[in-house]
Amino acid sequence: MADFYQSGVIVTLHKLGRPSLEKIESEIFEFSKQRPIALVLPALYAEFKADALKGIVEELKKVKYINEIVLSLGRATDDEFKKAKEFMSVLPHDVKIIHNEGKRVKEIYATLERNGLQPGEDGKGRSTWMAYGYVIANGKSDVIALHDCDIVTYNREMLARLCYPVVNPNIDVAFCKGYYSRITDRMHGRVTRLLITPLVRSLQKLVGFHPFLVFLDSFRYSLAGEFCMVTDLARVMRIPWDWGLEVGVLAEVFRNYSARRVCQVDIADNYEHKHQPLSAEDAQKGLMRMCVDISKSIFRILAAEGIVFSDSLFKSLEVAYMRQAEDTMLKYEADAAINSLVFDRHEEAKAVEAFANAIKQAAQIFIENPMGTPLIPNWNRVGSAIPGIFDMLKKAVEEDNK
């Protein structure tokens, strides 16, 4: 059982006792009559061959309050797209699949580029952004929920707890992020545990109080891929297309809404999905690439907030991060010991050293090019630049799904 302690500047909704899933779902069903819910699922075709997505589909069959499901499919041929449609056809919902490699959607991307709007490279960021565009174009849902398609431990309670705070008008939340434990016989979630938290707290020591750092540090699992938001947020959100996506989303939430309208919710006792290799020697792969992108994103967000970065600040940050990460590692070692979990101090220390190197590389990239990779433009700007884009997108997706 979780504690009920509230910390940070956002609301934390714990899992206390044995909440009734049926009661939560029945309430969501009633709320959704006024606030229809779209579920966005970013997926690669490779995930259709895995057991995780099969389990997710079986659970979604039991969900009655979803208004529409939009699956944004990446890296799929036309034949694979047809197989994906057949796979998802067992669901009793209005399901649309966005064929990102198909000629119709590629023409949408080409239209954006011809008008000077860069949708970024192929990846989760671009896929989810395109799904938001379709939900907006369709005009049938006021709330968007999103989760990944590689969750081995998925059950429909995750979705219900994720949606409930946003769809319930009495709570008045515009954005809700899920959190959970990442445990097997050992602790996982190294990037959250050993990069994000020590980095954010080191920056707080060096630059002093800053509302965004306090906001970011309030999330128990800032890199969780599961969240729910009002559709209006999807209209104004500018997000990275790379691994800085999750931090970038939180930055946009911070910019557009008061922290009083943001919450995090415990959605699972445990959560398991595919693990990325560390790839300590190659910053273009695995967790190293993720850490470089995340660190760059944090630096650029703070620079936009008025923080002045310099060589001396980054050098101090390297030292402060190492001290903070080492202290954090000791806390997790004690936590693992009392819970009889495996804790490999050498492997944890190797991860900290690799992450320190990732921060250093990110700092060098930031100094050379502070603007960095452009964010994907928000849909309000796209709609203004290309007045017919929403009709074009809706038609493309519906033609593909005939």
In this prediction, residues 352-368 reach a mean pLDDT of: 96
Q: HSE, CB side, 13 Å, CA atoms: give it for residue 155.
A: 9
Give which of 352, 229, 249 is closest to 294, Cα–Cα: 249
Domain covering 11-397, topology: Spore Coat Polysaccharide Biosynthesis Protein SpsA; Chain A (3.90.550)
48 pLDDT above the threshold of 90: yes
**pLDDT at 292 (0 to 100):** 95
Cα–Cα distance measured from residue 244 to residue 123, given in angstroms and rounded to the nearest whole number: 11
pLDDT value at position 374? 82
Q: Write b or e for each residue in 5-35: b if 16 or more Cβ atoms lie within 10 A of its Cβ, otherwise e.
A: eeebebbbbbbeeeeeeeebbebbeebbeeb
Question: In the structure encoding, which two tokens stand for residue 362, read together?
Answer: 């990110």
> What type of residue sits at position 61?
K
% pLDDT > 90, the chain? 91
Average the pLDDT over 108-129 and give the result.
95
What is the rounded CA–CA span in Å between residue 11 and residue 36?
23
Name the residue ranges covered by the structural domains of the chain.
Answer: 11-397
Q: Say how many Å lie between the first and final Cα of the chain, rounded.
A: 47
Whole-number average pLDDT of the chain: 95
Q: Give the model confidence (pLDDT) of 226-280 as tens digits.
A: 999 999 999 999 999 988 999 999 999 999 999 999 999 999 988 988 777 787 7
pTM (predicted TM-score)? 0.96
Is the pLDDT at 281 greater than 80? The verdict is no
Q: How far apart are the C-alpha atoms of 364 and 300, rounded to whole Å?
A: 12
Chain center to CA of 315 = 30
pLDDT value of position 153? 95
Q: Which contiguous run of DSSP H or E holds residue 145? A: strand 143-146
